[in-house]
Amino acid sequence: MKFVPRLLTAEQKDDCMSICTDLRDQAQNNPRFMSSVITGDECWVYRCDPETKHMSSQWSTSSSPGLKKARQVKSNMKTMLIAFFDTDGLVHHEFVPTGQTVNKEFYKVVLQHLRDAVHRHRPEKWHSGNWILHHDNAPAHRAVTTNEFLAKHNIPSLPQPPHSPDLAPCDFFLFPQLKKAMKGRRFDYLEDIQANVTRQLRAITKTDYQRCFHQWQSARISAYKHKDTISKETQPTGR
């Protein structure tokens, strides 16, 4: 996954500020609000994901001969992971079948799997109905059929600001942490990749997930303050 910086339009900035304001107010007025959120997304995981330059660096002296390293690239063998989690940990994950795209029809099936997982693993959320889905603005997530499914099952959703991976827990926490643990490792079979991904997901502690949600709340409040400052600075002044 590669994030491409974007210049937001005035409308997108206003949308981002509105979303951050709403989250700030809900989090401040309801201390249990963040614990009711289940967030999720998709990402590719590769058979071989090369180490970063920092990870492959070695100590050397000024007299040491220069080291030559072969250039490595990501392999073509890969699997797509879909994962959902809350403040207590992983709620549901699955791998997209080879050749399948995450379209609106497939994503609706994933959401049904998520509901089943909430029923099994989060019975208090299931019986109270007190949980909120958070996902980004991918086409399958915003599709009419997806919204109809959520409305039918009374699942509210938390909006995601446009082009803001720094405000999406999967993007700033789960996927980077998962991929860091797999950097430099090579797997022979697709099943090996999936088994290792599952182990790494289950190795993340409840404390890590809680810290992630705390950072998420702080990041959205900071984003609100930053955009509020920009908005005031760019407002025309009267004479």
One DSSP character per residue, 46-87 reads: ESB-PPPTTTT-----TTSPPP--------S-EEEEEEEEET
Q: Under 8 Å CB-to-CB from 194, ≥6 apart: which residues?
A: 79, 95
Query: What's the pLDDT band for 72 if we cut at 50, 70, 90?
Result: very low
Which whole-number Å values give the CA distances from 148 to 15, 25, 152, in the listed order?
A: 23, 27, 6
- Amino acid 195: pLDDT: 96
- pLDDT value, residue 230: 43
Domain ranges of the chain: 13-25+32-46+75-233
Q: Which residues pair with 46 in a beta bridge?
A: 78
CA distance 32 to 49: 38
Q: State the DSSP H helix or E strand holding residue 45, giving kind and residue range, or none if neither.
A: strand 37-46
Confidence band, pLDDT 50/70/90 cuts, at residue 233: very low
Which has the higher per-residue pLDDT, 131 or 5? 131
The closest alpha carbon to 88, from 65, 121, 64, belongs to 121
CATH architecture of structural domain 13-25+32-46+75-233: 2-Layer Sandwich (3.30)
Q: Name the pTM for this structure.
A: 0.80
pLDDT greater than 90 at residue 108:
yes
DSSP reduced 3-state for 25 = helix
CA 170 – CA 37 distance, rounded (Å): 13
